[in-house]
Structure 1
Amino acid sequence: MTSLFGEPSLTKDRSLEGERNFGEDDYTGTYEASYQQFSGKENLFGGASLDGSEGKTIEITYTANINSGNVEVFWNTADSEKQELLFEGQGEHTETIDLKGGWEYLSLEGDELEGDIQIEIE
């Protein structure tokens, strides 16, 4: 999805496969979903440096119990041509990200995904 200014926007709550709860800002919170044959992309958390997030450090914990299909979780920045792959597939992993400013967001991409995923960002 894109906003009026051409930047990506977060997926609206009603369009998400799971349930997202924001923390103190749009960069933090929790997301839980049980996917059934999901193929697509969801932009889950993030924002722009206009909100004073530059220089902040976040910790992302990913837990997945995948029955079939594929899942990848990326950290995206507007000033980069490339997404950074943080997590994929089964298991539990934690990653620390230093926010640099500009538009930055966490996205999840599934291909025929079936399984349960939990993401927590603090």
Structure 2
Amino acid sequence: GDAGNAALTPQSKLQGHKENGADDYTGAYEATYSEFTGTEILFGGTTLEREAGSTIRITCSLSLESGEAAVFLRSGADDPVILLSESGEYDGTVEVDGTSTYIGVWGDQTDGSVL
């Protein structure tokens, strides 16, 4: 793979199942966590110019039974932005033009699920 894939967690190490979309920025992920602690980088890359345009839509839902979890977005060298850190849903768009952008899930003793 190219350098853009370097930061993505390999499918074999993911807690759940990922379906890839048209490129590394799109797709679907579904996971149920049990006592999960760690970080999964699900989507993203370092593409300077996407064929599909620079705007991506992010939708996710988090169902947290115990522990802590967060769905986050990291762009370039900026600190990660938390999209969702409690049970609920998130729906928004983000610009990915010219910077590395990654979407992931962080967990600490997490029991719950993410879609």
Which residue of the partner structure matches residue 112 of structure 2?
A: 115
| Contact 1:87-1:93 at 8 Å conserved across structures | yes
Show structure 2 runs of 5+ residues with no match. Answer: none
> Is 1:88–2:82 an aligned residue pair?
no
Figure out how many residues of one structure are paired with residues of the other and give that number. 113
Give, as a single letter, the amino acid of the residue that structure 2 aligns with 1:96: T
Please give the residue correspondences for 1:43-122 in structure 2 after superposition, counting only pairs within 5 Å: 43-50=41-48, 52-53=49-50, 55-78=53-76, 80-118=77-115
- Give me the whole-angstrom Cα distance separating, in 1, the residues matched to 2:82 and 2:64: 18
| Contact 2:42-2:105 at 8 Å conserved across structures | yes
If the length of structure 2 is used for normalisation, what is the TM-score? 0.87
- Give me the whole-angstrom Cα distance separating, in 2, the residues matched to 1:48 and 1:11: 15
| Contact 2:62-2:84 at 8 Å conserved across structures | no
| Contact 1:86-1:95 at 8 Å conserved across structures | no
Kindly report structure 1 stretches of 4+ aligned residues shifted beyond 3 Å. Answer: none
Give per-residue Cα distances to partners, 1:90-117, cap 9 Å, x unaligned. Answer: 0112121011223211011001110111
Show structure 1 runs of 5+ residues with no match. Answer: none
- Give me the whole-angstrom Cα distance separating, in 2, the residues matched to 1:47 and 1:112: 28
Identity of aligned residues (%): 37
If the length of structure 1 is used for normalisation, what is the TM-score? 0.83
Q: CA RMSD in A?
A: 2.2
- Give me the whole-angstrom Cα distance separating, in 2, the residues matched to 1:73 and 1:8: 20
Which residue of the partner structure matches residue 18 of structure 2?
A: 20
Give, as a single letter, the amino acid of the residue that structure 2 aligns with 1:109: W
- Give me the whole-angstrom Cα distance separating, in 2, the residues matched to 1:107 and 1:53: 20
SS of the equivalent of 1:49 reads coil
Give, as a single letter, the amino acid of the residue that structure 2 aligns with 1:59: R
